[in-house]
A and B are shown apart, each in its own frame.
Chain A
Amino acid sequence: MGTTNVNRRDVMKRATAAGLLAVPALGSLTSCATGGGEENKAEKGKKSADNPLAVKKDAELQVYIFNGGYDDKYARYVSDIYEKKYPDAKVDQKKTEKIATQTQPRIVKGDPPDVINNSGADNMNILSLVQNKQAADVSELLDAPSWDDPEVKVRDTFVPGVVEMGQFGSDAVYQLNVAQTVYGIWYSDTMLSKTLEVEYPKTWDEMLAVCKTAKKKGVHGWTYPAGHPRYMFFSMYAMFGQAGGRKQLEAMDYLEPNAWKSDAVKAVFEAYEELLAKKYVLQGFDGEKAHIEAQTAWTKGKAVFIPDGSWVENEAKPTTPKDFEMRVGATPSLDKGDAMPFGTLYAPPGEPFLIPEKAKNKQGGMEWMRMMYSKKAAQNFFREVSSMPVVKGAIDGLDLPPGVASSQKAIKAAGDNIVIAFFKEWYTALWNEEFNNVVGSFMNGDSSVKEAMNTMQKAADRVAKDPDVHKIKKA
């Protein structure tokens, strides 16, 4: 039949009509993304002294590692241990820069990998995962015997803070960190002792004096990455604690009213205001690579101090002179009446891992983490990435680069006075957006101490009131 009475106009007309009709018909298609998730049984083997976590010996294990500065070789080392212990099991280890993009859809679908290194810019909000019951409680692992000594539980091999960092308002532990970061004021010992011929300042007055000496020699006292102004937190946080005590830090963590308007916060901001007013700060490292630019200026001797974390030694390695003698200093005391002494250190565990609740090989995932916390894996981690593992004493006696050695010394000196900013982990936006904005305009001289405190308080109040943000209550 050759004569179908259809012309172009008809086709267009019908196409439009069909398009309109298709719309309501699709109402039924909504509510797809939240579907899925039938109970799937985790694979389990037999529990024994050699297999305390009851791993199924031939079950495949899938591990996702964040492909950042740490690469994934340190994790491959652990996977190799796993495959050696369970020759019938294959470890499928993948690395990606996009952790959330790669793993979150699988978590939602109910088919997640067994171990996730939830790190990098594209990480998942751990609090949401905990709220959604998507992250597994790993208490079983923490109470299992450690890899190196069956008499010692895994949880007792950690430096302080690891367990607390994994808890979100209850006893259950959902997140496991493997590295310890030391934050503080970083400097070159050569610069301080040879060029400026001064001691590391223990009080803020001494700090100002050192900056003055530096200025006379044509060196700026401080620099910071203005493109990522939140770096200022790395030297400010311990000072909040020193000035206001743990009470002050808890008030920030638990979003208490006027936590950011206290005298302690005011004193710290005023200290830095003085630094700015006296033009001791080398400004203008803007943009995405600001931290590299600022660190390079610092290693080249253009500035004495930089607020930073212990990764800086590795990151700045290409530009660091041989005789630089990198050191981290604890933050100076503001006042004799400080609530916490000089030496108080902001040194939280970091580089988080988690095991999804619906992981098929949950036991295997925990076993993998148990291996990660073995001394040899911890030492290998240190060799690969130059970061301190959270396993107590794992790198004692090793030949440490100057920055790490001084970090270790700072941790020892701090003793019980290690502080951890939990709110930064719980309410990430409050730190990486709000604090970043506030301190950015403060350091640019665009807002006063009072404005900075007010804006920050407003932001904290907003988080406190936001029904979409699950709040952690004081235990």
Chain B
Amino acid sequence: MRTRTRPDPSGPATQGTVPWRKLPPGDKLAFAVAVLLPPRFTPARVRADRRYRTLDKYRFIVGFLILPLAFYAVFVISPFFQAIYYSFTDWAGGATANFVGFDNYVKMWNDEKFWSSVQTSLLLLVFVPVVTLALGIFFAYMITAGGRHRRGEAVSGVVGSSFYKVVYFFPQVLSIALIAVVWQQVYSSRSGLLNGLLGEVGLGSLEQRWLGGDYKLGLFATMAVIAWSFVGFYVVLFSAAMGAIPKDIYEAALLDGAGRGATFFRVTLPLIWDTVRTGWIYMGIQALDAFAVVLIMVPGHVLKVTPVYLYERFREGQFGYATAIGVVLLVLSMAFTLIVMRIGRRETIEY
């Protein structure tokens, strides 16, 4: 038995625990020091204490996490909080930022230009993920399971599927700025590839001033570019998910007489649903951003998305107001994520 007055340095660990506040100050100090000491230098009576185990465990975890957490805190978390703080100020880039309460938010509420940018952003948020994911799933399905049945295989991709997989991924390799510049040229009213092609194949009547001032056309053009640039990523993502589905499930479906459509809706889609949901959230956030494409490609008088509007406020030196818009964007993306998580929730099927 361990006594407090005469600790046995080599004695076996005991389970008796003295409440922390009753511990003699010397032991308290020893515990405090033990946080930093390697076990070998820790006094045995401390080491023998049950609490030391907990301490040792936390110390171990903290040892691994302290650096990444510090980085995360400084470079990710603190800007968020700074932004929230500045959104309540009238900071204009100078040395002073006066606290103005909810003034920036009230101003935003009454700002028509803000709302029209939000309208555009929301339209992108609703339509772009649907189109991109649908295309991504379709292509991925064709690549992994859409082909003719070859001998000995339940499913196989269309001819040349590995080639397509690479080609679809190309836009993902290009920088988004480059994509925006290239498409801006493609859409050019007078010298663009698109109108040129339409004229060439006798569809001259379909030629448009794509980015010439018409809101709907501009929106359509923007959506097409964002979808185009991201579809490759989802093709790869979804074909990986589809590749993980065991072939025997397909075989069983095939034996039951399921066609391609039925196989897709009854087998493939439910089994990759988790990936689809993740992709949906990611794509939604991309669509809500859309900053680079819109800023570079679309003239300001055609349309604006909220991040571009935010950027312009920054440029005008309205830092406080701009960060308030940023905070609203943050809330929007979080709300979107939560909604998708909620409506997309299904029982996970393990296989």
Known: A125-B315, A287-B211, A437-B300. A29 touches B57 (CB 8 A): no
> Total A-B residue pairs with C-beta atoms closer than 8 Å?
166
Residue of A nearest to B309 (CB): A433
Q: Are B90 and A26 in contact (CB under 8 A)?
A: no
Residue-by-residue, is B288-317 near A (CB-CB < 8 Å gives 1, otherwise 0)? 000000001001110000000000100111
Cβ B211 vs Cβ A286 within 8 A: yes
Q: Using Cβ atoms and an 8 Å threshold, which residues of chain A touch B94?
A: 34, 108, 128, 131-134
A262 close to B (CB within 8 Å): no
Q: Which 10 A-B pairs have the closest CB atoms?
A: A132-B94, A128-B317, A440-B301, A125-B317, A286-B212, A1-B39, A29-B78, A30-B85, A286-B189, A437-B301
A475 within 8 Å of B (CB atoms) = no
What are some 12 contacts across the A-B interface (CB < 8 A)?
A1-B39, A6-B57, A15-B61, A29-B82, A30-B78, A128-B317, A134-B94, A284-B190, A285-B189, A287-B188, A446-B213, A468-B107
A398 within 8 A of B: no
B56 is an interface residue with CB less than 8 A from chain A = yes
Q: Is B321 an interface residue (CB 8 A)?
A: yes
B74 within 8 A of A: yes
Chain A residues with CB under 8 Å of B184's CB are: 287-288
In the complex, besides A31-B97, A122-B315, A286-B209, 7 extra interface pairs with C-beta distance below 8 angstroms are A33-B91, A128-B94, A132-B96, A227-B211, A289-B188, A437-B300, A468-B320
| Residues in A whose Cβ lies below 8 Å from that of B95 | 34, 36-37, 108, 110, 132
| A467 adjacent to B103 (CB under 8 Å) | yes
Taken together as a complex, chains A and B put the C-alpha atoms of A134 and B95 apart, in Å, by 9
B53 touches A31 (CB 8 A): no
A contact residues around B185 at 8 Å (CB): 287
Q: B60 near A: Cβ within 8 Å?
A: yes
Q: Are B65 and A15 in contact (CB under 8 A)?
A: yes
Chain B residues near A429 (CB, 8 Å)?
A: 312, 316
Give chain A interface residues in 430-449, CB to chain B under 8 Å: 432-433, 436-437, 440-441, 444, 446
A220-234 contact mask (Cβ, 8 Å, vs B): 1 or 0: 000000111100000
Residues of B within 8 A of A100 (CB): 315
Partner of A31, one of B60, B82, B188: B82
Q: Is A14 an interface residue (CB 8 A)?
A: yes
Chain A residues 388-436 with CB under 8 Å of chain B are 428-429, 432-433, 436
Instruction: Confirm or deny: A27 has a beta carbon within 8 angstroms of a beta carbon on chain B.
Output: yes
A36 CA to B187 CA in the complex, in Å?
47
Give the shortest distance, in Å, between A429 (CB) and chain B (any CB).
5
Q: Tally chain A residues at the interface, Cβ within 8 Å.
A: 64
Does any Cβ of A come within 8 Å of B191's Cβ? Answer: yes
Question: Which residue numbers of A lie inside 8 Å of B, CB to CB?
Answer: 1, 4-6, 10-11, 14-15, 18-19, 22-23, 25-27, 29-34, 36-37, 100, 104, 107-108, 110, 122, 124-125, 127-129, 131-134, 226-229, 284-290, 293, 428-429, 432-433, 436-437, 440-441, 444, 446, 466-469
Kindly state whether residue B72 has any CB partner on chain A within 8 Å: yes
B91–A34 contact, CB under 8 A? Answer: yes
Partner of B56, one of A4, A29, A110, A284: A4
Q: Which of A6, A37, A284, A468 contacts B92 (CB 8 A)?
A: A468
Which of A25, A285, A436 counts the most B-chain CB atoms under 10 A from its CB? A285
**Cross-interface CB contact of A14 among B53, B65, B300, cutoff 8 Å:** B65
Q: How far is the CB of B282 from chain A (nearest CB, A)?
A: 21
Q: Are B92 and A128 in contact (CB under 8 A)?
A: yes
Query: Which of A4, A104, A133, A469 meets B57, CB within 8 Å?
Result: A4
The reply to whether A285 and B190 contact each other, CB–CB distance below 8 Å, is yes
Q: Return chain A residues, CB-CB under 8 Å to B167.
A: none
Against A, the Cβ 8 Å flags (1 = close, 0 = not) of B203-224 are 0000001111100000000000
> Bound state CA distance, A207 and B190, in angstroms?
27
Which interface residue of A15, A22, A131, A446 has the most chain B CB atoms within 10 A?
A22
Task: Enumerate chain B residues within 8 angstroms of A5, measured Cβ to Cβ.
Answer: 53, 56-57
Query: Contact at B93–A108, with CB atoms within 8 Å?
Result: yes
Measured CB to CB, the closest approach of chain A to B93, in angstroms, equals 6
Instruction: State whether the Cβ of B77 lies closer than 8 Å to any Cβ in chain A.
Output: yes
For the complex, what is the distance from the CA of A152 to the CA of B40, rounded to whole Å? 84
Question: Contact: B82 with A127, CB < 8 Å?
Answer: no
| Interface residues in B309-337 (C-beta closer than 8 Å to A) | 312, 315-318, 320-321
A18 and B69 in contact, given A4-B60, A436-B300 (Cβ under 8 angstroms): yes
Residue of A nearest to B83 (CB): A30
Which residue of chain B has the shortest Cβ distance to A458 in the bound complex?
Answer: B112
Contact A19 B318 (CB under 8 A): no
Q: Is A436 touching B317 in the complex (CB atoms < 8 A)?
A: no
The answer to the question of B102 belonging to the interface, with a C-beta cut-off of 8 Å to chain A, is no
Q: Is A26 a contact of B78 with CB atoms below 8 Å?
A: yes
Alpha-carbon distance between A285 and B103 when the two chains are bound, in angstroms:
41
Which residue of the partner chain, among A19, A34, A133, contacts B97 with CB atoms under 8 Å?
A34
Q: How far is the CA of A433 from the CA of B191 in the complex (A)?
A: 26
Known: A5-B53, A14-B61, A288-B299. A27 touches B81 (CB 8 A): yes
CB of B163 closer than 8 Å to a CB of A: no
Contact A436 B301 (CB under 8 A): yes
Contact check, A26 vs B77: say whether CB atoms are below 8 A apart: yes
Instruction: Output the nearest chain A residue to B320 by Cβ-Cβ distance.
Output: A468
Residue contact B92 to A131, C-beta cutoff 8 Å: yes
Partner of A228, one of B86, B190, B299: B299
Q: Is the CB of A11 within 8 A of B61?
A: yes
Residues of chain B from 118 to 170 with CB closer than 8 A to chain A in the complex: none
- Chain A residues with Cβ under 8 A from B20's Cβ? none
Complex formed: what's the CA distance from A43 to B64 in Å? Answer: 49
Does B262 reach chain A (CB closer than 8 Å)?
no
Least Cβ–Cβ distance between B121 and chain A, in angstroms: 17
B339 is an interface residue with CB less than 8 A from chain A: no
Query: Which residue on chain B has the smallest CB distance to residue A434?
Result: B113
Give chain A residues whose Cβ lies under 8 Å from the Cβ of B92: 128, 131-132, 468
One of B82, B312, B317, B321 near A33 (C-beta < 8 A) = B82
Decide if B213 touches A440 in the complex (CB within 8 Å): yes
Q: Are A22 and B73 in contact (CB under 8 A)?
A: yes
Which residues of the partner chain B approach A433 to less than 8 Å between Cβ atoms? 300, 312
Residues of A within 8 A of B212 (CB): 226-227, 284, 286, 444
Q: Is the CB of A287 within 8 A of B299?
A: yes
Residues in A with CB closer than 8 Å to B77 are 22-23, 26
CA distance A1 to B81 in the complex (A): 41
Q: Is the Cβ of B187 less than 8 Å from the Cβ of A22?
A: no
**In the complex, A212 Cα to B337 Cα: how many Å?**
60
Closest A residue to B195 using CB positions: A284
A6 and B189: CB pair below 8 A?
no
| In the assembled complex, B115 has its CB within 8 A of some CB on chain A | no
Kindly provide the distance from the CB of B174 to the nearest chain A CB, expressed in whole angstroms. 18
A19 and B57: CB pair below 8 A? no
Within 8 A of A (CB), among B260-310: 296, 299-301
Given A4-B56, A14-B61, the answer on whether A31 and B85 have CB atoms closer than 8 Å is yes
In the complex the two chains form, what is the Cα distance from A423 to B85 in whole Å? Answer: 32
Q: Given the known inter-chain contacts A18-B69, A34-B97, please indicate yes or no for A467 contacting B78, CB distance below 8 A.
A: no
A131 surroundings in chain B (CB, below 8 A): 92, 94
- Chain B residues contacting A11 (CB-CB under 8 Å) are 61, 64
For the complex, give the distance between the alpha carbons of A112 and B62 in Å: 41
